[in-house]
Structure formats: C-alpha cells, structure tokens
A = this chain, B = another copy of it.
C-alpha cells in the first residue's frame, strides 16, 4: 500500500537536496535506528510553510530526537520552537544536534507528557502534532484555545500508511480518522491534506 507512487516520490526526493550536515547526520541516525522521522520531503515542506508564516512560537508534540524541530528552527527568523518527548535520551540527542547546528537559542526542550508541556504555552502560531496517534484529537481539543489568531496546525501521519482506507480499523487508525474529520468539519479551521509521504494535515485557525 502506498500513498504517492514510489517512483514519483523518488523523483521528488532526488531533486530535494539537503546540504545541512546536521540534518544529514540526523537522517542517518533515523535510518540506523529505524526511528520514524518525517523525512526530508516533509522537512522541506514544513520549512517553507514556516518561512511563509514567520511565526513567533512553534510547539511540537512528539519531537523524537529533533529532526522536524530542526527544520522548524532553521526557518525561524526570531521565534522559537518548543520540543518535547517522553524519552530523556531523545531530547538529549536533540540538544546535541541543535548545538551542532547553532540553533540552541531558537529552541526549548522538555521531557515529559507532550500535551501537558504544550498546555503551558499560549499564543502558539504553529502546532505540530506528531506524538501518539491515538491522542491527536485530544491534543487539538486541549490546545485549541492556546492557538493564536490564524495559527497553523500541522499533523503528520494523517494517511497512516493507507490504513485509513481499510474496512476494519484498529484503534490508532480510528483515532486518526476522528481527528481528521473533526478538523475538516470544524468551522473554526480551514483544512487540507497534503499527501506528502505519510500524509500531512495543514489547517489554519480562522
């Protein structure tokens, strides 16, 4: 089951040159550990969206060792990105990478429950949802009022390897679909899905 024709994805990936050595090292680590990072196609996309938006505050739910956070930080002019993960080991790696990339001053790092941490922030300009798939709906309901006017919500894995099409949904897929439906039907958001890699939901708060 694939979302984008793999030959097409390969064509786009070959065009998408990444020169940043820290990003390349992170990609290598992701590959080595078989750790699910968003990959450079999503990375370049969220980088561009951030450049266009020019946000002051980005909050990530589920940062892993900081790959998506690094793309966000690179795109920031004078804002900051908040990273969180429940594993200290991941956050320590993220800090190292950000240090190498001279991006430490653009980031805050937290270990613990992504939602509890995020809920300490107000006026979030970009909320990036990429933690436990069963908690996406809970996340947006909890944080909706912490979003600034015209804030963006970006959620990864929204097509969940195509499992959203299956007849008998497992719990994670069911929850992803509930979140997706909530976003599309909620009049407070303008929502679209961009079928990059595992599917990105992009929404703007009205």
Contacts and interface: CB of A to CB of B under 8 A. Distances in A.
A195 interface: yes
Contacts of A24: none
28 contacts: A3-B5, A3-B8, A4-B5, A4-B195, A5-B5, A5-B162, A7-B162, A8-B165, A8-B195, A8-B199, A11-B164, A15-B180, A15-B184, A15-B191, A15-B193, A16-B184, A16-B193, A41-B192, A45-B194, A45-B202, A48-B192, A48-B204, A52-B52, A52-B150, A52-B152, A52-B204, A194-B194, A195-B196
A110 interface: no
Interface string A40-67: 0100110111011100000000000000
Band of interface residues on A:
35 or more
B17 A192 contact: no
B184 A8 contact: no
A165 B13 CA distance: 13
A148 B12 CA distance: 27
A162 B12 CA distance: 12
A202 B44 CA distance: 10
